[in-house]
Structure 1
Amino acid sequence: MREQVERIVTLAESCPSDVLEQAMQRAIRFEAYGYGILKRLVERLQKAPGSLPQPAQPSAQRRLSLPYRVDVERRDLSYYQEVAR
């Protein structure tokens, strides 16, 4: 994860901020995360922006309001010892 972030920071230093922002927005719309996809999107946006497919409109069911919160029940470790037997 740290390597991904470091590479994205380096990418941000080498391309225009508006291009990086567009690439990030597209990556989020397509739910495609990581340095590799972001780098390819930046390259395509700079060379041939019209060649990128248009993302479908997000469905209302899949839309999350970020940041979202997930509550996880905390259990005593003895519970897992019983389950593992």
Structure 2
Amino acid sequence: MARIKLWGSLRSLVDGREYLEVEARTLKEVIDALEKDIPALRPQLERGVSFSVDGLVYQDSWFVPITEDQEIVMMPRMVGG
């Protein structure tokens, strides 16, 4: 079971919860599970999210393997230049 920490504004979409747990082995499986189980997150997931896994930030790297003991943080997609 992957434990996902939600960053800032994402918490307001899930009644203020800081953590969610899903069965997943990759970041793509995290997104799929959240889309299915928590409809309130769908609009943000469609706009895009970024993940931090043990401090490394990933965007569009959906097949990164994850394990239960890793720190996984989901945040709105980071953009900039």
Alignment TM-score > 0.5, same fold? no
User: Could you say which structure has the higher helix fraction?
Assistant: 1
TM-score if structure 2 supplies the norm length?
Answer: 0.29
User: Could you say which structure has the higher strand fraction?
Assistant: 2
